[in-house]
Structure 1
Amino acid sequence: MSKADGLKFQLLKLNSSGKVVAELSKGYYTKAAVLLHPSRVTLDDIKGTASLTQFTVEKTLTFKNIETLGKTDKGFEDAKRVIAALKNKGVSGIGAVGFCWGGKVVAELSKGYYTKAAVLLHPSRVTLDDIKEIKTPIAILAAQFDNSTAPELVKQFKEVLSTNKIDNFVKIFPGVSHGWTVRYKDDNVTAVKSANEAHQDMLDWFTKYVQKT
């Protein structure tokens, strides 16, 4: 492969007005795995495909089992299965991105060596103890107004990562709130600009650590 494949976990269902990050990911194979449904992804889902690019995970998201939504432990296990399947297909470079509680799942992945790099966008449920265990290069893109992960906590994340000598990129976007990278109106110029800036930061991080020349 002239360029490494990138695995992008979009762990929240994008708002219909949101830009699909995959559209921006030129040069990468992008897989948005919806891990909110209790059903699982198995290796057989991938083994039967003729090529990597034909593999898709399409699962219907229902709210009948709403108590299962946001179970990060299940999301983590499913994410590992998808990564294992991709590696069995010969994918050498994998990066993971998590939105909201998906950030918790990607943080868990980053405690091991499942991926080459990670990006968290307006993460929730990520603790300082989680950050202390991070082993892979990680970018954290946070909002100025976010009750899930306040800027003060994000600054502590930065301090811990730097102390532990983990390459990191931490940025707090001014004037935005939780979910700004996927929940915005296309006719809001300011919102679109902030979202696009975050998307580009994400891709730049993967270009640095995942993409091969």
Structure 2
Amino acid sequence: MSGPECCSNPPKLSSSSGSGSVIELAGLKAYVSGSSNSKQAILLVSDVYGYESPNLRKLADKVANAGFYVVVPDFMHGEPYDPDNVEKPIPVWLNTHNTDRGCEDAKPAIAALKSQGITTIGAAGFCWGAKVVVELTKSSHIQAAVLLHPSLTTLDDIKDVKVPMAILGAEIDKNSPPELMRQFGEILTSTKVKSFVKIFPGVAHGWTVRYKAEDEFAVKSAEEAHQDMLNWFLAHIN
């Protein structure tokens, strides 16, 4: 995940966005939305801009309204990627905020949710977060997954996926081009993992969480992807 495409259209971050609240979960700050009495949780793993993205929190609220307890942990530990910080370009930032660390942080968060009575967990990952989610699918940590414009994910990663997975990709995307997304789908079919692959026309990498509210087409495409994600979880998290 290098170059400007993965980091275009940075969101304006706001810790006060959303109708949920910020709690501490397994040593991490996390934005949560929905009833903690729910037995079904959805973990949303952000892109490099972190858990304060207003669009991501708005999406968390939308998923919570469908009956899930939604958790968006701060896997960036208070230091999301800042494109204006010339001392930490994306390759340097990734050295200390790598997806392996994100995956290791996710495991105790999942364990904490299960200790609270959560019985079934789905996870969706955006760009950087998709790689974290893929790692979680290789064992029994989660029961269903959605990748949205994934980065850093390889064909070999997909061969080890063990839970139902939906992949939502952009037509204009150097990090996860449509052909690679289709190859992911072919692998999942060959390994008999339930899967769904959809390429959205006319949109670029990051469109599901970095859209601008005044861009009608972008909003419509993002909302379509959000509904596809939600439908996947409604079908496979029960």
Deviation string, structure 1 residues 142-189 (Cα, Å, up to 9, x no partner):
111111111111111011000110001111111000000011111111
Give the distance between the partners of 2:95 and 2:69, measured in 1 at CA. 29
Give the distance between the partners of 2:81 and 2:129, measured in 1 at CA. 18
The Cα shift of 1:200 comes to 0.5
Alignment of 1:14-163 (within 5 A): 15-16=53-54, 20-25=58-63, 26=65, 27-37=67-77, 59=78, 61=80, 66-68=93-95, 70-163=97-190
- Per mean C-alpha deviation after superposition, the further-off stretch among 126-135 and 59-68 is 59-68
Give the distance between the partners of 1:145 and 1:161, measured in 2 at CA. 23
**Contiguous gaps of at least 5 residues in structure 2:** 1-35
How many residues end up aligned between the 2 structures?
190
Give the distance between the partners of 1:178 and 1:131, measured in 2 at CA. 20
Q: Work out whether residues 39 and 118 of structure 2, in 8 Å CA contact, stay in contact via their aligned partners in 1.
A: yes
The Cα shift of 1:7 comes to 2.3
Q: Which residue type is aligned with residue 7 of structure 1? A: I
Q: Which residue type is aligned with residue 122 of structure 1? A: H
Deviation string, structure 1 residues 15-57 (Cα, Å, up to 9, x no partner):
44666211211111111012112xxxxxxxxxxxxxxxxxxxx
The Cα shift of 1:11 comes to 2.0
Q: Judging changes above 3 Å, is the alpha-carbon distance between structure 1 residues 62 and 179 closer, same or farther for their aligned structure 2 residues?
A: closer
How big is the alpha-carbon RMSD for the aligned residues of Structure 1 and Structure 2?
A: 2.2
Q: Judging changes above 3 Å, is the alpha-carbon distance between structure 1 residues 133 and 68 closer, same or farther for their aligned structure 2 residues?
A: same
Q: Work out whether residues 109 and 115 of structure 1, in 8 Å CA contact, stay in contact via their aligned partners in 2.
A: yes
TM-score (norm 2): 0.74
Give the distance between the partners of 2:229 and 2:38, measured in 1 at CA. 17
Give the distance between the partners of 1:148 and 1:201, measured in 2 at CA. 21
Which SS does the other structure have where 1:183 is aligned?
A: coil
Give the distance between the partners of 1:147 and 1:132, measured in 2 at CA. 21
Q: Judging changes above 3 Å, is the alpha-carbon distance between structure 1 residues 88 and 167 closer, same or farther for their aligned structure 2 residues?
A: same
Q: Which has the bigger relative contact order, CA under 8 A and spacing at least 6? A: 1
Deviation string, structure 1 residues 69-125 (Cα, Å, up to 9, x no partner):
540000000011100111111100100111001100000001111111011100000
**Contiguous gaps of at least 5 residues in structure 1:** 38-58
Q: Judging changes above 3 Å, is the alpha-carbon distance between structure 1 residues 169 and 3 closer, same or farther for their aligned structure 2 residues?
A: farther
- The percent identity for this pair of structures is 47
Q: Which of 8, 11, 18 lines up with 2:43 in the alignment?
A: 8
- Return the structure number with greater strand share: 2
Q: Judging changes above 3 Å, is the alpha-carbon distance between structure 1 residues 191 and 19 closer, same or farther for their aligned structure 2 residues?
A: farther
Give the distance between the partners of 2:114 and 2:74, measured in 1 at CA. 19
TM-score (norm 1): 0.82
